[in-house]
Amino acid sequence: MGNHHEDNCRLNHPDFRALNQGLDRRNFLQKTAMGLGAAALQVLMGGQSLQAKSIQDQILESLPKIAPKAKRVVYLFMSGGPSQFETFDYKPNLKNMFGEGLPDSVRKGQRLTGMSANQAVLPIVPSLYNFKQYGQNQTWVSELLPYTAQVADELCVIKSMYTEQINHDPAITFFQTGHQLPGRPSIGSWLSYGLGSENQNLPAFIVMVSKNASKDQPLYSRLWGNGFLPSEHQGVQFRSSKDPVLYLNNPEGYDGEDRKEMLEYLKKLNQAQNQTWADPEVEARISQYEMAFRMQTSVPEVMDVSSESDEVFDLYGPGSRDKGTFAANCLLARKLLEKDVRFVQLYHQGWDHHDALPKNIINQCKQTDQATAALIQDLKRRGMLEDTLVVWGGEFGRTVYSQGKLSANGYGRDHHPKCFSMWMAGAGVKPGSYGETDDFSYNIAKDPVHVHDFHATMLHLLGINHEELIFKSQGRRFRLTDVHGKVVKGVLT
């Protein structure tokens, strides 16, 4: 009877079971001294064992079953840390404090990065760009995001995100894996492990990185790594060049039948090896080879955009015909989601604006704004926004003060982890805005949302209790949220 469960969500994992079956009082008595006598007596009197219904079954029955709102996720990761001041967090009062030093009462002695810690003054600088309210929810959006503004009614803007990480690599790693040090599984890997793939011919976790972004901060493939989970759950990167997935094509003069035959024999060898060593990585290898073989036909099919109409390309904007841009990747993401890929992650770098922010951020917004809004519209009219979660955000926010002097070229902003904005849209998310920051967008004034809380909420929307998706590694049990995380009820419908 546990089989269904295993398909749906692998809460049936032996570790999970053992943990839950932990010896309670009655269990203890039964298994020890008194148990012997009681069991004998029961048999003597011809009674059926009272505990005929196993504790395991009882636990399975009592498990809360969260009905999943979201079946798949597309996560638009704005790498570098987009400024909340020029996007979603409108702070009109800052205009009156232009150029003044940041009051100590706001900063409260918080340690700054090495880049601005030695600055004599920390001059407050308001956004140069104007804001307006859009849609029924009167969501504030900056003039830099005119297309996003047109889908404002679909967005739930969280203004009170925070993290502990102040530098790019640990902060991105934290967002993707729930820990600042490398080595934990990425969100997509957890989902692949927990929910599996609906489409058997494509990986459950697919990653694309924009080619048109300025690569000011690097990305590493470990950000979509499987950590300690079996390796078939790692994210597969689709590239914009001739081979979307490396080493997938057959070598010249080698046809599919040969390949199939070779893989059959390889599988037998691997199975023999598996019987000897029972190493889960051997099983992972077998399933990866099988997936790769199926992907030989499924990937070219899904990457082919020739059947898309001009209307669709126009919707996603001018970049969408150029393979590998953010816009083209958004279009592909929609195609992948249509094929029921569980988790699609897009990375767009170049948001790390330490200087000349007013000029650079325009470019960033131009590259991403229309395609982002188009993705939402396109999902919506296909009936997919109903069960697809769309997420937009970076790894941290930026400071209210300018890094470096104010000049004609404008200002820069340093890293700021204590508050920043991101948004979610689609399945099970309540449009509007959530949380508030203080007048300086330096501290959170209301409803803080930690990265762990964000993870817990995302899993909740996918029908998973974040406390129950567990994997045991190196002698201890791990979760995406580890020992933290609360579902943010305020953003749910």
Q: How far apart are CA 115 and CA 354, in angstroms?
A: 9
The region of 342-350, 379-387, 424-432, 437-445 touching other proteins under the rule CB under 8 A is: 379-387
The region of 152-160, 169-177, 227-235, 382-390 touching other proteins under the rule CB under 8 A is: 382-390
- Select the residue interacting with other proteins from 146, 170, 182, 404 (CB under 8 A): 146
Does residue 383 bind other proteins (CB under 8 A)?
A: yes
Does residue 100 bind other proteins (CB under 8 A)?
A: no
Using the minimum distance from each CB to other proteins, give the nearer residue, 120 or 181.
120
C-alpha angle 482/486/488, rounded to 5°?
A: 140
Using the minimum distance from each CB to other proteins, give the nearer residue, 381 or 476.
381
| Cα–chain center distance at 41 | 56
- Select the residue interacting with other proteins from 56, 113, 199, 465 (CB under 8 A): 199
Measuring CA to CA, which residue among 470, 419, 431, 344 is closest to residue 13? 470
The region of 272-280, 374-382, 412-420, 452-460 touching other proteins under the rule CB under 8 A is: 374-382
The region of 42-50, 162-170, 175-183, 427-435 touching other proteins under the rule CB under 8 A is: 42-50
Q: Is 1 helix (H, G, I), strand (E, B) or coil?
A: coil
Q: How far is the CB of 407 from other proteins (least distance, A)?
A: 6
Q: How far is the CB of 421 from other proteins (least distance, A)?
A: 20
Q: How far apart are CA 118 and CA 265, in angstroms?
A: 64
Q: How far is the CB of 138 from other proteins (least distance, A)?
A: 18
441: left (phi over 0), alpha (psi -120 to 50) or beta: left
Q: How far is the CB of 24 from other proteins (least distance, A)?
A: 4
Using the minimum distance from each CB to other proteins, give the nearer residue, 371 or 458.
371
Measuring CA to CA, which residue among 396, 401, 431 is closest to residue 413? 401
C-beta separation of 188 from 227 below 8 A: no
Using the minimum distance from each CB to other proteins, give the nearer residue, 77 or 343.
343
- Lookup: tokens for 300: 């070219």
187-195 and 451-461 are packed helices; what angle lies between their axes, rounded to 10 degrees?
A: 30
- For other proteins, what does the binding mask look like between residues 43 and 82, x meaning CB under 8 A? -xx-xx-x--x-x--x--xx-xx-xx--------------
Specify which residues 398 forms β-bridges with. Answer: 415
Q: How far apart are CA 423 and CA 179, in angstroms?
A: 21
Strands (E), 48-165: 72-78, 131-134, 139-142, 155-162
Query: Count residues contacting other proteins (CB under 8 A)?
Result: 65
Measuring CA to CA, which residue among 340, 333, 438 is closest to residue 94? 438
H/E segment holding residue 368: helix 357-381
- Lookup: tokens for 361: 């951020």
Does residue 475 bind other proteins (CB under 8 A)?
A: no
Which positions touch other proteins (CB under 8 A)?
Answer: 3-5, 7-8, 24-27, 33, 37-38, 41, 44-45, 47-48, 50, 53, 55, 58, 61-62, 64-65, 67-68, 98-99, 125, 128-129, 143-144, 146-147, 150, 198-201, 315, 338-340, 358-359, 362, 370, 373-374, 377, 380-383, 386, 405-411, 463
